Amino acid sequence: MAKSCFQVNIGAFDQFIKDVNNDPEKGKVTFKTTTEWQGGAVSKTTARDFVLHTDEPASLGGTDSAADPVELLLASIATCFSIGFVTQAAKRGIDFSDVIIETEGDLDLRGYFGLDKSIRPGYTNIRYKVKVKSDASIEQLEELRQLAHELSPMIETVVDGVDITGSVEKI
């Protein structure tokens, strides 16, 4: 089947928006994952019925058997953006035959290694480029990019931050 923005179920999407507008409590959701250490630097995460594996490159002590967690963050940003980009296009009657999002981020590993406390252990910069095959104008595509960027839960979380708390218990 050829790819199309119109494969997004806009009817279900719009109905859910109406439901949340009528009952704001329906818009408050909690997502959950469970991560189990598999040994070495390998972990397995379950999200609903889906499984993701992570590992570190060999240079960071892993076996390079799966994506690194910082790569998964880039993937989370790009896939969240992609969903919003395609959904907003479909709502406006714009179609694409292909969308490719290249995402990259810069890390100074001295922060992660604890070698320099003045260097943060996380990304210092994240960039993405959207490549689109479409009859839409570049102005329409840029408008969609800006809207998808503005409405992306992942981009907003990374840009504006969120409180993260933790605890530990013995099992």
How much is the pTM? 0.89
For residues 22-45, give the mean pLDDT.
95
User: Phi and psi (nearest 5°) for 121?
Assistant: -80, -10
CB–CB of 69/54 below 8 Å? yes
The pLDDT value given to residue 14? 87
Cβ atoms of 74 and 154 closer than 8 Å: no
pLDDT of residue 5: 79
Residue 70 contacts residue 64 (beta carbons within 8 Å)? no
Three-class secondary structure of residue 104 per DSSP: strand
Q: What percent of the chain has pLDDT over 70?
A: 99
Digit-coded pLDDT (tens) for 69-113: 999 999 999 999 999 999 999 999 999 989 999 999 999 999 999
Query: Which pLDDT value is given to residue 1?
Result: 64
Residue 75 and residue 67 in contact, taking contact as beta carbons nearer than 8 Å = yes
